[in-house]
Amino acid sequence: MSIVIGLGVVLVLAILYMIFRISSLVGLVKGEKEKVKKVDSWNSINAVLFMVFSVGSIGGFLWYSFANFDGYTLPVASSHGKITDGLFWVTMWITVIAFIIISVAMFWFTYKYQYREDRKAEFIPDNHTLEIIWTIVPAIVLALLIFRGLRVWNDITGPAKPNAEIIELIGQQFAWTARYPGTKDKELGTVNYKLIDASNEFGLDMRDKNSFDDFKSLELHLPVGKEVLLKIRAKDVLHSVYLPHFRVKMDAVPGMVTQFKFTPTVTTQHMRDSLGNPKFNYEMACAEICGKGHFSMRFPVVVDEPEVYEKWKASQESWLKQNPDYLKRVPAELREAAIIKAGLPIDNATAGSVRTVSAN
């Protein structure tokens, strides 16, 4: 009942409003003129203040941007980073120029055409030439920016070179873990999300021989001058890999694998020397709010010369060696090969059979 009454009240108010509007239109048709209230000096003052605000805000924006440029632009440490930075600044300049033109025109029109009693407004219904210009020109500029950006994006997310360094990153609340292929086969083993547990955070499939020498790291090590392909996954919620100095950002999505390829160009030590900061370190962060512990997802990144990088890889223990209990999940016919490849100690029970396999 109350709903019906409410609808009735709304309907009555709508009818009264329409009657008022109709009476106003009838008055205009009959030639009745409304008395225009004379404006005071504040009208001109406000028009001038609009111009002062326009000039002051645009001038302040430009001054702050140039004065603090070095404070918010990080050095580039990847080959594609220079390209993406170039695209960003071209887009920024186009946007800033368009913004300034529109702002100046808007505030100038406010000042120029302020109300005066001795002036009558002009009515211009349309201007086809002007409409065509402000439609076609932005469309062409945006198309050029989009197609150029799409080419760069397709290259970044496309297939990697045959000799690229493939590294897997997996995110979870609230930590990152990296997985590297071992030095024996240099190929990542297959994974299965159904095999993920408290120890096997990657879901390594022990039926794949390439998994035997894979190892995990709590730091992201990268070789300078060599293409790196990041395979990115998430265990729980949406995360995002963000390497600001390398201009790398890619979401980690549960249930799917995303990837990003790039080539580091500046080692950690070289960056320290160029910045004059011996304590400088690259880092990776999560750029997607993933929970109350989101702030803690900071991951150390180290960029080394290729020979130093290879020595570091050779010094790492395989995941299977750190978790020997999972050897029982390896098929019997591959178990001896797994022991050798993972670097597990060979006990007396398996020594003979391993020697036999090696001899054959």
Query: Which helix (H) or strand (E) segment is 166 a member of?
Result: strand 165-172
- Strand extents, DSSP E, 195-328: 215-217, 220-223, 228-234, 239-243, 248-252, 258-262, 282-286, 298-304
Q: Quick one: 192 and 340 in the same domain?
A: yes
Query: Which helix (H) or strand (E) segment is 179 a member of?
Result: strand 175-180
Are 339 and 330 in contact by the 8 Å Cβ rule? The answer is no
The answer to the question of residue 10 being in a domain is no
Q: Tens digits of per-residue pLDDT, 96-111? A: 998 888 888 888 888 8
Q: Quick one: 231 and 299 in the same domain?
A: yes
Q: Quick one: 104 and 185 in the same domain?
A: no
Q: Which of 323, 328, 313 is nearest to 184 (CA)?
A: 313
Q: Quick one: 206 and 243 in the same domain?
A: yes
Q: Which range marks the domain in which residue 199 is found? A: 165-346
Q: Quick one: 97 and 214 in the same domain?
A: no
How far, in Å, are 58, 218, 271 from residue 261 at the CA level?
Answer: 39, 20, 21
Q: Quick one: 250 and 334 in the same domain?
A: yes
Q: Tens digits of per-residue pLDDT, 213-230? A: 899 999 999 999 999 999
Q: Tens digits of per-residue pLDDT, 7-51? A: 767 777 777 777 777 777 666 656 555 555 566 677 788 888 888
Give the list of residues 6+ apart from residue 279 with CB closer than 8 angstroms, or none. 272
DSSP lists the bridge partners of residue 179 as: 168, 216
User: Domain tally for the chain?
Assistant: 2
Which amino acid is it at 32? E
Mean pLDDT by 10 residues, the chain (360 residues): 68 76 66 57 82 88 87 88 91 90 87 80 81 90 91 89 92 92 85 87 89 91 94 93 94 92 94 92 92 91 94 91 89 86 68 40
Q: Quick one: 293 and 233 in the same domain?
A: yes
The answer to the question of residue 151 being in a domain is yes
The answer to the question of residue 149 being in a domain is yes
Q: Quick one: 91 and 210 in the same domain?
A: no
Q: Quick one: 215 and 109 in the same domain?
A: no
The answer to the question of residue 7 being in a domain is no
- Residue 353 is predicted with a pLDDT of 41
β-pairing verdict for 258-262 and 298-304: unpaired
Q: Quick one: 319 and 174 in the same domain?
A: yes
CATH for 319: 2.60.40.420
Residue 272: burial class (beta carbons within 10 Å; 0-12, 13-18, 19+): middle
The answer to the question of residue 359 being in a domain is no
The answer to the question of residue 8 being in a domain is no
CA–CA gap between residue 255 and residue 238 (Å, rounded): 10
The answer to the question of residue 352 being in a domain is no
CA–CA gap between residue 244 and residue 247 (Å, rounded): 5
Q: Quick one: 149 and 179 in the same domain?
A: no
Across the chain, mean pLDDT equals 85
Which amino acid is it at 95? T
Q: Quick one: 133 and 183 in the same domain?
A: no
The answer to the question of residue 256 being in a domain is yes
CA–CA gap between residue 219 and residue 205 (Å, rounded): 23
Starting from the edge strand earliest in sequence, which strands make up the sheet with 175-180, in order?
215-217, 175-180, 165-172, 228-234, 258-262
Retrieve residue 278's tokens: 């011996």
